[in-house]
């Protein structure tokens, strides 16, 4: 199922341009894929519509759909909307404590709340839109600041250089790190929105590039960056960049090997001990030793699909969309596949991994797997779905055994099954 478009959906425009230029699609297997291995869990084609499968806590209507994963802050969970709002909802009832329409770089267009996640630190929730990032006070909902990343490349397609529609923000210790189409990374004071430093590639890319996801480990910020090598987007390379979190100084850069006409990274890096795991378009995974910058292991799919999902590490296991209509659990140390579950299509947003479960969005469905074995438990449509309007708009977030997720036209919470 394709994600529906909205009046000004910068995310869709960027993803469309990137996918056309950089991705090679191989037809998916027909049927349930059981011919590959009858012991591998396969998603049921029927849908579990009964609410007996998951115990609903509440459902609250809200406008259209955003992209960013909600964030839990104390007794509230903050959702984004498709009409440029942040809404803080009581975790127990879903009732809005405040609702704020935040600033947009494009004042004449209604911008959805974008980026990979909403993030919070020091009493502030930060959200990415199309070309700007905003900070909102968690207690009152008051907008504190807005920041526009530098437009430091030229000739980029709309929404233009500095776009943050697919950015994975990171907040920690009162500092917000903003990777942007550009490529650039900015460290902001999260209370004031004032920049502390800005990193840009050096030498500057000849044409276009983008910094997408970031992750923190100690004093180091790891950033996924892709760089188009020509103006037509027919050749590209991908980087993992390590930055000093205090100064923004580039410590090192790894350029990934290209496949087909190019490489593009997805999501944010995942961290395990001394390894940094990066997902690339089509289901490729690379694990890099942060000391030597050597590629320790890689996963290469046989059927290559474009996916929006980045890798997630829980314990000693890496979970990822495998690029073969499947979700993989791999040993984080050596990349050995521990289990594979076929989901009949690709994951359309980042996974949620909890102690017991793995949650996988495939646009119109939410697949819930057993984390230890990959066994399918449930395949759900959204609540209150009407006709073709079923859409899981964002990744889920967990707090205790409560699950929160944004769907088309609503915010939903249920208990983990």
- Give residue 5's pLDDT: 30
- Give residue 303's pLDDT: 79
Q: What tokens does 217 get?
A: 């480990």
Q: What is the CA radius of gyration of the chain?
A: 20
Residue 398: pLDDT band by 50, 70, 90 thresholds? very high
Contact between 340 and 301 (Cβ < 8 Å): no
Residue 114: pLDDT band by 50, 70, 90 thresholds? very high
pLDDT digits (tens, 9 = 90+) for 307-328: 778 999 999 999 999 888 899 9
What average pLDDT score do residues 1-23 get? Answer: 35
Domains of the chain are 10-41+70-359 (2.130.10.10)
- Give residue 370's pLDDT: 95
Neighbour order of strands in the sheet with 284-289: 265-272, 275-280, 284-289, 295-299
Q: 361-370: buried (b, 16+ CB within 10 Å) or exposed (e) per residue?
A: bbbbbbbbbe
State the DSSP string of 258-313. PBTTB--EEEEEEEETTEEEEEETBTEEEEEETTT--EEEEE--SS-B---PPPEE
Neighbour order of strands in the sheet with 397-399: 55-61, 410-415, 402-407, 397-399
pLDDT digits (tens, 9 = 90+) for 334-377: 999 999 999 888 898 999 999 999 999 987 899 999 999 999 89
Q: Which residue has the higher pLDDT, 52 or 129?
A: 129
pLDDT digits (tens, 9 = 90+) for 115-140: 999 999 999 999 999 999 999 999 99
Question: C-alpha angle 235/238/240, rounded to 5°?
Answer: 170
Residues 329 and 313: their CA atoms lie apart, in Å, by 9
Residues 345 and 61: their CA atoms lie apart, in Å, by 28
- Give residue 204's pLDDT: 59
Residues 124 and 194: their CA atoms lie apart, in Å, by 14
């Amino acid at each position: 199922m394709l994600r529906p478009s909205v009046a000004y959906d910068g995310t869709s425009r960027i993803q469309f341009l990137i996918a056309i230029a950089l991705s090679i699609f191989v037809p998916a297997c027909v049927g349930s894929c059981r011919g590959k291995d009858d012991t591998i869990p396969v998603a049921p084609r029927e849908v579990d519509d009964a609410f007996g499968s998951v115990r609903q806590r509440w459902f609250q209507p809200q406008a259209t759909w955003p992209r960013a994963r909600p964030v839990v802050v104390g007794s509230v969970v903050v959702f984004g909307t498709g009409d440029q709002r942040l809404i803080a909802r009581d975790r127990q009832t879903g009732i809005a404590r405040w609702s704020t329409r935040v600033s947009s770089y494009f004042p004449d267009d209604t911008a959805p709340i974008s980026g990979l996640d909403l993030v919070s630190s020091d009493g502030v929730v930060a959200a990415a839109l199309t070309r700007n990032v905003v900070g909102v006070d968690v207690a009152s909902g008051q907008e504190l600041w807005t920041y526009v990343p530098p437009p430091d490349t030229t000739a980029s397609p709309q929404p233009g250089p500095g776009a943050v529609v697919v950015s994975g923000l990171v907040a920690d210790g009162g500092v917000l790190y903003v990777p942007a189409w550009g490529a650039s990374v900015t460290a902001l004071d999260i209370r004031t929105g004032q920049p502390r430093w800005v990193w840009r590639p050096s030498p500057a890319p000849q044409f276009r590039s983008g910094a997408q996801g970031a992750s923190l480990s100690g004093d180091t910020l790891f950033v996924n960056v892709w760089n188009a090598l020509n103006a037509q987007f027919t050749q590209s390379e991908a980087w993992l960049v390590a930055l000093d979190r205090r100064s923004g100084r580039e410590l090192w850069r790894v350029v990934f090997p290209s496949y087909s006409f190019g490489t593009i990274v997805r999501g944010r890096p995942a961290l395990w001990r001394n390894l940094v795991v990066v997902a690339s378009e089509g289901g490729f995974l690379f694990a890099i030793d942060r000391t030597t910058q050597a590629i320790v292991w890689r996963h290469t799919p046989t059927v290559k699909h474009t996916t929006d999902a980045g890798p997630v590490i829980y314990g000693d296991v890496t979970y990822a969309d495998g690029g073969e209509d499947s979700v993989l659990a791999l040993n984080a140390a050596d990349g050995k596949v521990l289990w594979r579950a076929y989901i009949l299509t690709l994951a359309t947003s980042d996974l949620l991994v909890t102690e017991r479960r793995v949650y996988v969005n495939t646009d119109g469905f939410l697949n819930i797997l057993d984390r230890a074995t990959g066994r399918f438990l449930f395949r759900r449509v959204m609540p209150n779905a009407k006709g073709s309007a079923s859409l899981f708009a964002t990744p889920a977030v967990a707090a205790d055994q409560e699950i929160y997720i944004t769907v088309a036209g609503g915010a939903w919470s249920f208990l983990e099954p």
